[in-house]
Every structure is written in structure tokens, then in C-alpha cells.
Chain A
Amino acid sequence: MKEKAMQKGVSVIVMDDRDHVATALRELVPGETITCEVQGNSVSLAVNQPIPFGHKVAVIHITEGDHVRKYGEVIGRAVCDIPVGDHVHVHNIEGIRGRGDQAGGEPSSAEA
């Protein structure tokens, strides 16, 4: 991971040119416009929902089933279309790894 210099007063950071998401460095509110670097270009976009500190916002449109990237690497898969400016979290992306629930193993509930 290359070092991203953080400037005073920036609201979000995109870690890598391949990323679909930016991470909020403060709480973002719906309707506000943020500026960040996306694939080498400075881009302004409107935030659609409240984004808590440390959470992710989509900076590129993500289509259902697409791999979602942060740090330039795959962090999961979109379970629905995610427009630019939307909160990206457990409600619209899922992990691909460690998914015993999809592997047909024994159920883990307290039935036993």
C-alpha cells in the first residue's frame, strides 16, 4: 500500500486508484458535496445518506455482483446496485471469504 498523504481538513480518503469507495474522516451528512481523488482525477460528489466517521461512501457506481475494492484489493461483493454517494456497508456488500453459511456445512445454531 502506498502512502497517501493526508491534508488538513479533508473529509474523505481514497486509498488506491482502483478503489470504488472512500473512507469518511469525519461524519458526512446527506446533501453535502465532498471532493476526492478518483482514478487520478479530482472528483466532487454529493453524499446521499449519513456516513459515520470511518465508514465508506461509493465514489464510482457499483453494479450488483461486482467486486468492491478498497486498498486496491477486493473487500467483498455488491448485493445490489450502489449509486455514487451511497453509504457502502453490510447492507449492500457481503464478504466472499469465510462463508461457511454458503458451503453446505453443518448448521451452527443451538439445535444440537
Chain B
Amino acid sequence: MSLTFQGYRRPNGEVGIRNHLLIIPTVICSNQVCNRIQQLVPNTVAIPHQHGCSQIGADKDRTFDVLAGTGKNPNVGGVVIVSLGCEVVDPTQLAEEIRKTGKLVEVFDIQSVGGSVKAIQHGVQLAQEMRTKLDAMTKEAIPFSELKIGVKCGGSDATSGLASNPALGVAADALIAEGGTIVIGETTEIIGAEHVLADRCRTTETADDLYHIVNRFEKEVERMGADMRGGNPSPGNIAGGLSTIEEKSLGCISKCGTAPIEGVIEYAESIPQGGLYFMDSPGNDIECVSGMAAGGAHLVCFTTGRGTPTGSAVIPVIKITGNRICAERMADNMDVDVSGMLEGSVSLQEAGNHIWDEIRAVSDGQLTKAEVLGHAEFSINRIGPSL
């Protein structure tokens, strides 16, 4: 019998491991109204952001796709969209896109309702009613084959490549063995290691796609006339012993395990079911995790050596470290400590099993440290100028 966890079955057949009520501002101008609604209605989460207007073309589309994808994420049970009323991101179109999932969606704009006070009042009423409906939903047993996990590293040091990333790779292989899905991103952080991943692509077309996105990124760095070093690896990476982007990349890639790469997908694009996928994304922690969440990942496993508190608005983020000092100093933020690997007390397989056990518990409802502390980071990757 296959392994199961308790999750929410959505109207479109997808599965959620959380039951969030998400409050989406279509534009920066709606942020404060959304923040106030979140404060007044318990168990809601707002995703304030800087965008939604003065944007064109692919950049505008990307903002829309991330907002829509976050609303469509199966961990979200219902959505309240707050528009200003004159912005570039179309609130009606956004609501229609999210309604395709069959979930509860409400939308209104501040200009029509008549200012902030009335908008907050209206939003609170909608959110309260929706929260009551969400709380009446029940969970059922779901096989792990339906789970989609993002793997990410951030605040890396030398222990990431030696311990936490290989251990996460073992857990990634365990999920894929159950028929589940893994997505890895951070195009920046495979520079110098892309040949290793390309050799693992299922088809030559996928390998070509992988080389293409790496070349595209490296050309952008060349256009800026800068050495990546100092930006990535960051000053903290360098202090931790990582000398070049190549060294960082070669330590990064083990976190996705050993399965073949089935395909390369765009930032925030819907993640296909089953096997390992590569999402073209920046290495920036919040932008990458937000892109994975918008693609439909249920949770992210996040390795770190320096330590970071990062969470996400709609998905649990499990923090894993192979650095003993980080595990002790940032115990508030670390969920899994695999530093015993570097002291000879824990094997690679044992560390991987430890992470897999944590994935199972979190999928079943156990809160991560980031969730307990209220970390609900969200940000949208930009690919164009503000007008």
C-alpha cells in the first residue's frame, strides 16, 4: 500500500496540504487594505508586493502569472482579490483565472467601494464568511505520488555541498520513488555545473533547453559588464568558504537527487506531475520559492549553511542545515539538523531519511518553524523596467 498523508481534496482534483485564505492585492496601491484585512481576520494571509502597474509585455504577464499561480496553488482554499481600480493587472481576469480551479474567489476594487475604510470593512466581511466555509472542509488520505516539492538552497556555505544538499537529494529520490514530483530552480546556481545536469536530461531537447536558459542568463551578466562573484557567490557564501560560482553550483545540484530531468519549465509555470523538473528562476531565495509556489509546489525543502528564516505565504518551507553552529545559533529557524554527517555520527542515508520523515510530517499538517514564526515572504521576479 502506498504511503499517504491527510490533505484537502480541491474541486479540480488537486490536493492541498494547507487550507489558506489568501488576500491578493493586484497592485502595490492595494497593499495596506490587504494588510488590514489580514490583521482583522485570523488565519488569513496577504501577499503585499511592489508591482501590478506601470508594467508592459512579458514583465506584466509574469506579474499576472505569479499572482494567478499563487491563488491557484492547491494549498489555498479561497482567495479575496483587492484591486485599486485603474491598474495594469486586470482584477476580473485574475479572478477568472483562479476560479478555473473551482475554489472560492471574491474580487472588489477600492475606488468603487469608496476608499480605504469601506474597502477594509468590505474585505473583512468577505474574508470572515469565506474563512468559515474553509474551516468546515475536511481532510482525506492522499498518496505521496500527488505531492510536489521544490528543492532550494540559500545562505549556502561549504557544508551545503558536503552535507545538507546530498542529504536532501536522498529525500528527493524517496519522493520520486513514490511517484511524486520534484522541482529544482536557480538557473544562476547551475552555472559551471550545467553539463552534469544536462547529462541527466531525459531527452536531448531538454538538455538543449537547459543549456539555453543558462546561456541566456550568463549573457545578461556579460551585458552588465560585471563579475558575478560578490553578487553570487554572495559575501556570506565567500566567508563560508565558497570561492566561485562554479564551486557553489557543483555543491548545489546534489539537492535534487539522481532522477532524470523530465523537462525545463518557465518561472511560475505549472509543474507537471511525476519526476524531476527544472524551473528557470533566479537564485534569489524569495523570488525562487515564490515562483515554485506559483507553479503549484506544495512545500519547499530549503538547505542553508549560514542560516536564513525564509518562509512562504502559501507553502511550508522546511529548513535544513549541515552546519552545527548554524543549527545551534539559529535553532528558532532550523527544522532539520544533519550536521552529524560532517562529524561522522550520521550517514548520508540516515540524514536523507530524517529529511524524508520531516517531509511526511509537514505534509500531514505539522507546522514548520517558518510557519510558527509567521514567515510569509513573497516576491515577484521582474524582467522589465517600470514605466
Contacts and interface: CB of A to CB of B under 8 A. Distances in A.
A and B interact: yes
Interface of A: 1, 3, 5-10, 13, 15, 23-25, 52-56, 70-71, 73-76, 88-90, 93-108
Given A54-B158, A73-B250, A99 B243 contact: no
A3 B169 CA distance: 12
Contacts of B246: 73-76, 95-97
Nearest to B220: A100
A99 B228 contact: yes
B229 interface: yes
Interface of B: 157-159, 161-162, 166, 191-193, 196, 218, 221-229, 232, 238, 240-241, 243-247, 250-251, 254, 305, 323, 341-345, 347-348
18 contacts: A6-B344, A7-B344, A23-B162, A54-B158, A71-B251, A73-B193, A73-B196, A75-B243, A76-B246, A90-B243, A95-B245, A97-B244, A97-B246, A98-B218, A101-B225, A101-B227, A105-B223, A106-B225
B228 A8 contact: no
Contacts of A52: 241
A89 B243 contact: yes
Contacts, number: 127
Given A56-B158, A98-B191, 16 more contacts: A3-B166, A9-B344, A25-B342, A52-B241, A53-B158, A54-B157, A75-B244, A75-B247, A89-B241, A94-B244, A97-B218, A98-B221, A98-B228, A98-B229, A100-B222, A108-B225
Contacts of A95: 192, 227-229, 243-246
Nearest to A93: B243
Given A106-B225, A108-B226, A56 B243 contact: yes
A6 B244 contact: no
Given A6-B344, A74-B192, A89-B241, A100 B224 contact: yes
A6 B226 CA distance: 38
Contacts of B344: 6-10
Contacts of A23: 158, 162, 241
A5 B342 CA distance: 9
Chain A CB within 10 A, most for which of B159, B226, B245, B347? B226
Given A90-B238, A90-B243, A105 B224 contact: yes
Nearest to A99: B227
B243 A8 contact: no
Nearest to B214: A97
Which 4 residue pairs across A and B have the least CB separation, nearest first? Answer: A54-B158, A98-B228, A105-B225, A95-B244
A56 to B, nearest CB: 7
Nearest to B251: A71
A3 to B, nearest CB: 5
B342 to A, nearest CB: 5
Contacts of A73: 192-193, 196, 246, 250
A94 B233 CA distance: 12
